[in-house]
Amino acid sequence: MIAGEHQQVRLDVTSALTASAAVFATIGAVRMVFTDPAIARSLVTALRRPATGGHLMALPEQFLLRPDRFAVDEHLVTINWSQVPQSKTAPGGGFDAQRRRHIHWVDVEAGPLVFRFFDKSGHRAFVAELARTAALARSVLLPADEKVHALAGR
């Protein structure tokens, strides 16, 4: 569940520019592991689709979610992105009895995760953070074809 402009991704790198290099992106309770820069780029592309497809039109600029359920730096799920994820985008909505109004969201299903966006500012900020992750991956991870050559040279 993503809302608000204060989206932060903690980035960690291991074994940069080697065949065993990895980028770890921790967002709330989810840690994502990237070993191929193309996969990181494809995830960013999938997450940008709601903006280019007009799915964000019904969302407010800002939406307030309840406080986070997870402690800071506590991750509960680790996703190892080993292949380009299949993705789809779907708008949704429902009546929120607590707020006494109908709320809208946009889901981006990418591989095993569903990213649910409640506002435009959260979408912009989250995609920017994932784009930063993809840029880091591009600078520290070997492309798949170079990795095969590096592993064969062992």
pLDDT block averages, 10 residues each, the chain of length 154:
89 94 92 95 94 86 69 76 91 82 91 93 95 96 74 60
Helix residue ranges per DSSP H, 6-143: 37-52, 120-140
Q: What is the DSSP string of 41-79?
A: HHHHHHHHHHHHTTGGGGS-S--PPPPPSS-TT---EEE
Going from N- to C-terminal start, the domains of the chain cover 10-152
How many Å separate Cα 76 from the centre of its chain?
Answer: 15
Q: Are strands 30-34 and 77-81 parallel, antiparallel or unpaired?
A: parallel
Asked if 60 and 100 count as a contact pair (C-beta separation under 8 A), the reply is no
What's the pTM?
0.84
pLDDT at position 135 is 97
| Amino acid of residue 109 | E
pLDDT at position 152 is 65
pLDDT at position 68 is 58
pLDDT at position 116 is 93
pLDDT at position 151 is 62
How many Å separate Cα 119 from the centre of its chain?
Answer: 15
